[in-house]
Amino acid sequence: MRAAAILCVRAWPRAEATRRRGAAAENHRDPHFAYLVNKVLDDLKYLFKTKDGQCFVFPGAQAKRRAPRACRALTVPRGVLCTATGTGAWEAGLTNTLSRGDKVVCFRYGQFSHLWIDQAQRLGLDVTVLEEPWGSGANEERLRALLAADTKKEIKAVMVVHNETTTGVTSDIGKCRAAMDEADHPALLLVDGVSSIGACDFRMDEWRVDVAMTGSQKALSLPTGLGICCVSKKALEASKKANLPRVFFSLADMSKMNALGTFPVCACAPRCAACMAGPTLTCPCRARVCAHSTRRLCRFCTAWTRP
């Protein structure tokens, strides 16, 4: 495991991304919208460092203006606004690759790993929780021993939060993959990269990650509201047998409509346009990771030397 002083990886959107976010909504069924969809999905492969993986974007709804203060004071029924962020990407990764009752393993060492475990349990998965002190990361030796003991290969997936936002600790995904290989285990490797992808080194193909999940609002420096997944061929094959319910987060539906240059649901076009203009796709990954690392180091040193 590797500790990192992650103080803040959320940057304000660039001016161009902000401008596009505020642009008038486009008809997501128009032929010209296909260029935007194809451009974003192709360029996201660069972010995940993958050639074989398939990227998916789950676009949330456009938020409406708040009601006047006088109206907000009234006791009236409230609607529910559903957006797709990292939590939506979590659900997409789990429901498209697993079936009810499947055994999965997940480390718990912070609030977000705790919430992901809760989601998996509520979806009907049999979760083996590997408790680690908050402030530590994934223990690769514990993982290797657990998988080696699973001689019947009943464990279907390993879930790891790459960077636990609440504690600022970055786990070593490469070593987690090595532990799985040493145990000769076929489980899928699912990785939460919400606060790491774009800020920390991430190698989808090299580490053989099966599903990598992130959101737009953290290291990608984009407006909140996009859930983003990158899925390996192995995970796509597993999705054909997975029986957990999914509708909005169906990769099959999304893949079918992405091939036509659109989405199966009403997409928030300004957010997609902001994605194309943001630093995610306009700044080399290595330079962006170095910039984040430099900011973290400066803030850490400043806090350390402050009386």
Indicate the burial class of 6 (C-beta count within 10 angstroms; 0-12, 13-18, 19 or more).
buried
Lowest-confidence range among 4-18, 134-148, 255-269?
4-18
Name the 3-class secondary structure at 192.
strand
269 pLDDT band (50/70/90 cuts)? low
Residue 28 has what pLDDT? 66
Per the domain annotation, does 66 fall within a domain? no
> Which residues face 58 on adjacent strands?
227
Lowest-confidence range among 94-98, 242-246, 302-306?
302-306
Residue 60 has what pLDDT? 65
pLDDT at 287 over 80: no
The answer for residues whose C-beta is within 8 angstroms of residue 258's C-beta and 6 or more apart is 37, 41, 56
Residue 275 has what pLDDT? 61
Q: What percent of the chain has pLDDT over 70?
A: 70
Per the domain annotation, does 192 fall within a domain? yes
- The range of the structural domain enclosing residue 28 comes to 2-59+82-305
**Tokens for 292?**
């984040």
pLDDT at 279 over 50: no
162 pLDDT band (50/70/90 cuts)? very high
Per the domain annotation, does 136 fall within a domain? yes
Residue 65 has what pLDDT? 40
Q: What are the pLDDT digits (tens) for 169-226?
A: 999 999 999 999 999 999 999 999 999 998 899 999 999 999 999 988 888 777 778 8
Taking the C-alpha atoms of residue 166 and residue 108, their distance in angstroms, rounded to an integer, is 12
Per the domain annotation, does 69 fall within a domain? no
- Contact at 8 Å (CB) between 224 and 40? no
Residue 271 has what pLDDT? 62
Taking the C-alpha atoms of residue 303 and residue 169, their distance in angstroms, rounded to an integer, is 17
147 pLDDT band (50/70/90 cuts)? very high
Lowest-confidence range among 7-11, 138-142, 236-240, 284-288?
7-11
Taking the C-alpha atoms of residue 198 and residue 13, their distance in angstroms, rounded to an integer, is 14
Per the domain annotation, does 68 fall within a domain? no
Number of domains comprising the chain: 1
pLDDT at 30 over 70: yes
pLDDT at 283 over 70: no
Indicate the burial class of 264 (C-beta count within 10 angstroms; 0-12, 13-18, 19 or more).
middle
Mean pLDDT along residues 237-256: 94
Per the domain annotation, does 72 fall within a domain? no
Pairing mode, strands 103-108 and 2-3? unpaired
pLDDT at 288 over 70: no
Per the domain annotation, does 76 fall within a domain? no
pLDDT at 92 over 90: yes
Nearest Cα neighbor of 117 from 98, 94, 88 is 94
Q: What are the pLDDT digits (tens) for 34-44?
A: 888 888 888 88
274 pLDDT band (50/70/90 cuts)? low
Per the domain annotation, does 64 fall within a domain? no
Taking the C-alpha atoms of residue 68 and residue 70, their distance in angstroms, rounded to an integer, is 6
Q: What are the pLDDT digits (tens) for 41-79?
A: 888 898 899 999 999 988 765 444 444 444 333 333 434
Taking the C-alpha atoms of residue 300 and residue 307, their distance in angstroms, rounded to an integer, is 13
Indicate the burial class of 256 (C-beta count within 10 angstroms; 0-12, 13-18, 19 or more).
exposed
CATH number where 248 lies: 3.40.640.10
Taking the C-alpha atoms of residue 223 and residue 229, their distance in angstroms, rounded to an integer, is 17
Residue 196 has what pLDDT? 93
Q: What is the chain's mean pLDDT, rounded?
A: 79
- Contact at 8 Å (CB) between 261 and 38? yes
